[in-house]
Amino acid sequence: MSCSNETDGPLVQLGGTPSHSPPALDPPSVEAPGMSLRREKFGSTFEFFAPGLKRWQTSEWEPEKAHRFLPISVTGTACALQCDHCQTKVLEGMINASNGERLFDVARRLADRGTDGVLISGGSTRTGEVPLAPHFEDLRRIKNELGMRVIVHSGVVSPTLARGLAHAEVDGVMLDVIGADETIREVYHLDLSATDFERSIALLAEANLRIIPHIVLGLHYGNLLGEWKALEMIRRYPVSTLILVVMTPLMETPMATLAPPPIDEVTDFFALARQAMPDTLLNLGCGRPMGGMKIALDKAAVDHGLNGIAYPADGIIDYAERSGLTPEFYEYCCSLTWAN
């Protein structure tokens, strides 16, 4: 399941002082235990990611190839669950592959434009599974014939789905792991339990698939509820990279007017995750609030020893360097850490 091609390695190495740079951020005078642990386990490299999921740049970094890595939805904007935190808003920014065109043909068209990696996602069925089964052969062809990196977002995993994804030779499987039954029922509208989400991880492990779990901090209406249990479930399995994201209120959803989870609770979880999984790559993913909270979260990700950040706040690249770390830059998804 190797993923080597001519795009491996950092795409940009930045140096010097960017124009219109933000005020310098000073690292803490005393290094946090998580930072010391990550230096021991991973050295000084800190990775920054900017996939083509949205238009983005800062005074420190402007990605060169916006179409290098793109998301595709096999259901368009349709989703049976209508989860309270999303209600298909996330799907609206993806390329629609539900209009009768084969998924392979959609990917081939993107490859012709220079895309070399895709996230295949979509809305869920009533059982919580993204309907990927009709596309197993296309997934395999995209990987083998087009030479593209292929990540899928699975939702809840069945034995059939795990076997099919293994046959398709996908590079990795993303799934949100939820540790509170209340959140599964009330936010996701699923008649399942946390045990079903752990079973999903186990099925992916049995199929020898690369597992990229996500924990959404504050998913229960802005409150941390089952995140610690989710972490305990995840650490029992051989995962590739753990991605932490933070509940962000989206317009026109039931959570639109809610506050994000408290910063100190989120950053405490960063520290806990680093201590609980010292040998696992931990990244701060795309989803998190903007503004001052984003800066605080990104600083904490550096301070507590995470390995990388997607779409860093302005000034954070300099902050990582001032913390004694060496930045590397990738224009694709932060789940693709093994390909760096």
For the residues 77-83, what does the mean pLDDT come to? 84
Whether residue 139 is predicted with pLDDT greater than 90 in this model: the reply is yes
The pLDDT score that the predictor gives to residue 244 is 98
The pLDDT score that the predictor gives to residue 82 is 81
Q: Which two tokens stand for residue 196?
A: 């079903």
Q: Describe the crossing of helices 33-42 and 292-303 by its angle, rounded to 10 degrees.
A: 60
Using a 10 angstrom Cβ sphere, with 0-12 exposed, 13-18 middle and 19 or more buried, the burial of residue 258 is middle
Ramachandran region of residue 112, left (φ > 0), alpha (ψ -120 to 50) or beta? alpha
The pLDDT score that the predictor gives to residue 7 is 34
DSSP 3-21: --STT-S-SB---S--TTP
For the residues 241-264, what does the mean pLDDT come to? 89
- What's the pLDDT tens digit per position in 214-227? 999 999 999 999 99
Confidence of residue 61 (pLDDT cuts 50, 70, 90): confident
According to DSSP, the β-strands at 117-121 and 281-284 are: unpaired
- What's the pLDDT tens digit per position in 178-205? 999 999 999 999 999 999 999 999 999 9
Whether residue 84 is predicted with pLDDT greater than 70 in this model: the reply is yes
The pLDDT score that the predictor gives to residue 13 is 33
- CA 64 vs. chain centroid, Å, equals 21
Confidence of residue 261 (pLDDT cuts 50, 70, 90): very high
* Topology at the third CATH level for domain 33-56+64-339: TIM Barrel (3.20.20)
Q: Which two tokens stand for residue 295?
A: 């800066």
The pLDDT score that the predictor gives to residue 53 is 65
Instruction: Provide, rounded to the nearest whole percent, the portion of the chain with pLDDT above 90.
Output: 72
Record the pTM: 0.91
Where b means 16+ CB within 10 Å and e means fewer, 63-98 reads beebebbbbbbbbbbebebebbbbbbebbeebbbbb
The pLDDT score that the predictor gives to residue 14 is 35
Whether residue 4 is predicted with pLDDT greater than 70 in this model: the reply is no
What is the chain's mean pLDDT, rounded?
Answer: 89
175 DSSP β-pair partners: 213
| 19 vs 259 pLDDT, higher one | 259
For the residues 301-305, what does the mean pLDDT come to? 97
The pLDDT score that the predictor gives to residue 18 is 43
Neighbours of 101 (CB within 10 A): 11
Whether residue 78 is predicted with pLDDT greater than 50 in this model: the reply is yes
Whether residue 231 is predicted with pLDDT greater than 80 in this model: the reply is yes
The pLDDT score that the predictor gives to residue 87 is 61
The pLDDT score that the predictor gives to residue 95 is 93
147 neighbors 310 (Cβ within 8 angstroms): no
Confidence of residue 144 (pLDDT cuts 50, 70, 90): very high
The pLDDT score that the predictor gives to residue 93 is 85
The pLDDT score that the predictor gives to residue 340 is 54
- What's the pLDDT tens digit per position in 10-57? 333 333 334 466 778 888 888 999 999 999 999 999 999 988 766 778
55-64, 123-132, 189-198: segment of lowest average pLDDT: 55-64
